[in-house]
Amino acid sequence: MIRVEASINKEMKAERLKTELITNVSHDLKTPLTAIINYSDLLVKQDEENEYAKIIHQKSQKLKTLTEDLFEVSKAQSGNIAADMESLNIPELIDQTLAEFDEYTVDFRLSLQNVNIFADGKLMSRVFENLIGNIIKYSLPNTRAYIDAFEKDGKAYIMFKNIASYEMNFKSDEMTGRFSRGDTARTTDGSGLGLAIAQSYIQACGGSLSIDTDGDLFKATIIFSAINNQ
């Protein structure tokens, strides 16, 4: 029993140190990265034909996104997220999120009941942005994707389903790990932290996220306690 407790404490300490390291490195990267972005932006404005400056600016923006995601996921998984809970209408939040994406080759089919949950609006907006963004990036072009929301036995269910453009030859529970991405060749943009952040934010709001795969079918299911609409 003592050995088990010591092993658990050692593992918890290692995880805490890893989280602190990621947080500190992410913070320390911000100042030099901001300078790189600002100077590269000036170079692009001074010479719009300078391809090298454009590449530097694009890559620095990508690095900024990765750094921010690293900071967010480490903060979330350490339990340092303050959720500002409020009543949220799921159909409205999904419609708002879809409107933020300019163009995509996926045909979204929505089946949204008037479901309300108690959660943080900003956190859940990021969750939906990550999940819908993944559908747009990783779906087989010109296929249908489904977003369903319904209430059953006092629970609110929000489901995202799409057909992947790649072979999903990995376990479903691996996809919410840090840096997990479906396309092992890493042929698309992204930090690989989207699902990890989504899961952490959902848990911070009191909900749960499960990932299921069946052949090329990808399904993400969010479950919350539903708010009585009456």
Measure the CA–CA gap between 52 and 114, rounded to whole angstroms.
50
Mean pLDDT of 109-124: 94
Residue among 80, 72, 44 nearest 60 (CA): 44
pLDDT at 185: 39
- Residue 158 clears pLDDT 80, i.e. is over it: yes
- As a whole number of angstroms, the distance between CA 223 and CA 127 comes to 13
Pairing of strands 144-152, 107-112: parallel
Distances (CA, A) of 11 to 5, 16, 111: 10, 9, 43
Residue 170: its pLDDT value, please? 58
Domain ranges in the chain?
Answer: 2-77, 85-225
160-171 per-position pLDDT tens digit: 999 988 776 655
The CATH label, of 1.25.40.340, 1.10.287.130, 3.40.190.10, 3.40.50.720, for the domain at 2-77 is 1.10.287.130
Q: What is the pLDDT of residues 221-230, one digit of tens each?
A: 999 999 875 4
Q: How much is the pLDDT for 43?
A: 83
- Residue-level pLDDT at 19: 62
**Residues 175, 182 contacting (CB under 8 angstroms):** yes
- pLDDT (mean) for 114-130: 93
What is the distance between the alpha carbons of residues 219 and 166, in angstroms, rounded to a whole number?
Answer: 15
The reported pLDDT for the residue numbered 52 is 83
The answer to whether 197 and 69 have CB atoms below 8 angstroms apart is yes
Q: Does domain 85-225 have CATH number 1.10.1060.10?
A: no
Among candidate residues 155, 127, 157, 133, the one with its CA nearest the CA of residue 145: 133
**Which of the four pLDDT bands, split at 50, 70 and 90, describes residue 152?**
very high
Name the amino acid, one letter, at 105.
T
Q: For 194-214, how does the pLDDT look when each residue is reduced to its tens digit (9 = 90+)? A: 788 888 889 889 999 999 888
- Of 73 and 223, the structure prediction assigns the larger pLDDT to 223
Q: What is the mean pLDDT of the chain?
A: 80
